[in-house]
């Protein structure tokens, strides 16, 4: 919903004249962790985020009371609670709703935007959008809002002169976009200079999440981009894209879908269990436990989590295991040649708009494995939770033919995209009455425990890897004592018979 190919081509032309920067960009799905601030807002800790309401006369007025509730901690199904629950409380945003910025008439040029309607793909919105964002920040600053309050955290958890997050919600007809104004701005930066991030009270604002029609649920998705996340739907419309992800196929309705396992893992919002060997697991609902089971290491692996209806994910009628096949080596083919989609240099987000990471249904960045093997998602048929989640008795095994999966060879095995075995097997699923799910997992027998996500901190390393270690001494064989008692009992009976 955020971007379209027509605008992307226009942005690509502008990118060619932009200054070359070595940093990764703001939409790399958190491949880089060193660019929090200039390219991403922090995804951990306590942050304060600004929401700028922009109301144009002649359109349905903004209901400030409703707006303030959705963005307050008091709304159990609102913005703050969504991110707190999704992150296990590791990300704690607080939103300040700024003064309403009112316009008697549309602030966009009437000749280019009749009725103030911004059509998807309208390249005229580019320059007009920069001006509107600049004006909104300026007017909010002039209204007395102290922008230093929006710099509570950074990569090191301390103020860093970069805003923790800025959003603009308007009542005019417009979908949504996360706009990297710091990358494209060539005009006034509001601090006496030209170009780069906007500056208010010494705090730099490099990007703004924008949503129209006063649609607060679209804003949840767009803010995900400021966190560094990439779109996971298919902009080309060949299929819906990734289900069970607020960055993917979601109708932007009040039944907000949780983040997918890869997103939660990348943002360090998960309690990761690394599989090694064969083990029986009991996975609790991910909404409360954060448990994500990882099978495999390196760029290609599988993630398993327990999904079902709760405070969020209410659109799911049943509970089951969601299995995601992840390949971070997915690359993009554009007119410029072959670029890595993830962890790319600043500006390469445009390439991902032209050829998105989840546009190839048969080999996307993140693929939802469907238990029934019917490949409904890839064929653009409806997602069916009761059949596509792994539930009682379902299995997921290696395909011995080692066939490369494709539309002409729809093989529902646990093989890698190359067709080679991954060493992953899932068997004997049991959904329990308390919502937990038991499953037997087989993973490669060794070499799985030394692949941390980052150097240190919560969420960097698995909380467990492989089966529990065998204890030494007599306790190494827990059934030995029972066997000894049986032999002793038999000996006593022999004596009694004599």
Look at the alpha carbons of 344, 349, 350, 354 in this order and tell me if their dihedral is positive or negative.
Answer: positive
Band of pLDDT at residue 110, cut at 50, 70 and 90: confident
Residues 219 and 311 in one domain: no
Of 46, 49, 40, nearest to 149 (Cα)? 49
**At residue 147, does pLDDT exceed 60?**
yes
User: Does residue 35 lie within any of the structural domains?
Assistant: no
The per-residue pLDDT for 470 is 55
Band of pLDDT at residue 493, cut at 50, 70 and 90: very low
The per-residue pLDDT for 128 is 74
User: Does residue 375 lie within any of the structural domains?
Assistant: yes
Of 142, 138, 162, 141, nearest to 152 (Cα)? 162
User: Does residue 282 lie within any of the structural domains?
Assistant: yes
User: Does residue 214 lie within any of the structural domains?
Assistant: yes
The per-residue pLDDT for 111 is 76
pLDDT tens profile 216-249: 999 999 999 999 999 999 988 899 999 999 999 9
User: Does residue 128 lie within any of the structural domains?
Assistant: yes
User: Does residue 247 lie within any of the structural domains?
Assistant: no
Report how far residue 97's alpha carbon sits from residue 78's, in angstroms, rounded to the nearest whole number: 14
How many domains does the chain contain in total?
A: 2
**At residue 490, does pLDDT exceed 50?**
no
User: Does residue 36 lie within any of the structural domains?
Assistant: no
User: Does residue 252 lie within any of the structural domains?
Assistant: no
Q: Which residue has the higher pLDDT, 478 or 353?
A: 353
Cβ–Cβ under 8 Å, residues 171 and 55: yes
Report how far residue 296's alpha carbon sits from residue 285's, in angstroms, rounded to the nearest whole number: 22
Report how far residue 137's alpha carbon sits from residue 248's, in angstroms, rounded to the nearest whole number: 30
- Mean pLDDT is lowest, of 95-99, 183-187, 337-341, for 337-341
Residues 221 and 277 in one domain: no
The per-residue pLDDT for 196 is 95
* Domain extent at residue 128: 41-226
Q: Which helix (H) or strand (E) holds 465?
A: strand 464-465
Residues 344 and 409 in one domain: yes
* Residues whose CB is less than 8 angstroms from the CB of residue 95 and which lie 6 or more positions away in sequence, other chains included: 48, 49, 50, 51, 71, 72, 79, 80
């Amino acid at each position: 919903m955020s971007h379209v190919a027509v605008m992307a081509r226009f942005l690509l032309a502008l990118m060619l004249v932009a200054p070359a920067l070595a940093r990764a960009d703001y939409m790399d799905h958190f491949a880089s962790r060193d660019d929090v601030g200039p390219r991403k807002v922090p995804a951990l800790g306590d942050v304060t985020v600004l929401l700028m309401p922009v109301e144009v006369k002649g359109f349905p007025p903004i209901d400030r009371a409703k707006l303030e509730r959705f963005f307050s901690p008091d709304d159990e199904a609102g913005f703050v609670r969504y991110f707190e629950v999704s992150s296990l409380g590791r990300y704690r945003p607080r939103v300040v709703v700024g003064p309403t910025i009112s316009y008697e008439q549309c602030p966009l040029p009437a000749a280019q935007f009749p009725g103030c309607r911004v059509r998807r793909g309208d390249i005229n919105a580019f320059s007009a959008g920069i001006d509107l964002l600049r004006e909104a920040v300026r007017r909010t600053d002039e209204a007395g809002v102290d922008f230093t309050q929006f710099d509570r955290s950074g990569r090191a958890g301390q103020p860093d002169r970069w805003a923790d997050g800025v959003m603009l919600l308007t009542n005019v007809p417009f979908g949504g976009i996360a706009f990297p104004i710091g990358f494209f701005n060539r005009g006034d930066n509001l601090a006496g200079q030209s170009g780069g991030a906007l500056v208010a009270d010494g705090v730099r604002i490099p990007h703004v999440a924008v949503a129209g029609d006063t649609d607060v649920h679209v804003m949840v998705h767009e803010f995900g981009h400021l966190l560094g996340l990439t779109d996971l739907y298919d902009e080309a419309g060949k299929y819906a894209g990734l289900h069970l992800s607020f960055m993917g196929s979601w109708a932007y309705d009040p039944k907000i879908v949780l983040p997918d396992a890869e997103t939660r893992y990348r943002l360090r919002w998960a309690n990761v269990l690394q599989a090694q060997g064969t083990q029986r697991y009991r996975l609790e609902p991910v909404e409360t436990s954060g448990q994500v089971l990882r099978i495999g290491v390196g760029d290609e692996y599988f993630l398993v989590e327990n999904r079902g209806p709760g405070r969020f994910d209410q659109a799911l009628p049943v509970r089951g295991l969601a299995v995601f096949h992840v390949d971070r080596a997915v690359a993009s083919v554009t007119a410029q040649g072959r670029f890595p989609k993830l962890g790319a240099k600043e500006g390469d987000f445009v390439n991902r708009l032209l050829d998105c990471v989840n546009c190839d249904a048969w080999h996307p960045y993140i693929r939802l494995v469907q238990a029934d093997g019917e490949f409904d998602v890839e064929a653009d048929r409806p997602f069916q939770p009761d059949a596509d989640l792994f539930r009682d008795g379902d299995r997921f095994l290696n395909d011995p033919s080692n066939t490369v999966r494709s539309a002409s060879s729809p093989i529902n095995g646990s093989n890698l995209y190359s067709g080679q075995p991954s060493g992953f097997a899932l068997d004997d699923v049991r959904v329990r009455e308390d919502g937990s799910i038991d499953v037997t997992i087989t993973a490669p027998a060794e070499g799985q425990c030394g692949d941390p996500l980052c150097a240190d901190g919560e969420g960097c390393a698995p909380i467990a890897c492989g089966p529990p270690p065998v204890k030494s001494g007599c306790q190494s064989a827990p059934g030995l004592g029972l066997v000894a008692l049986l032999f002793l009992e038999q000996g006593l009976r022999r004596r009694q018979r004599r």
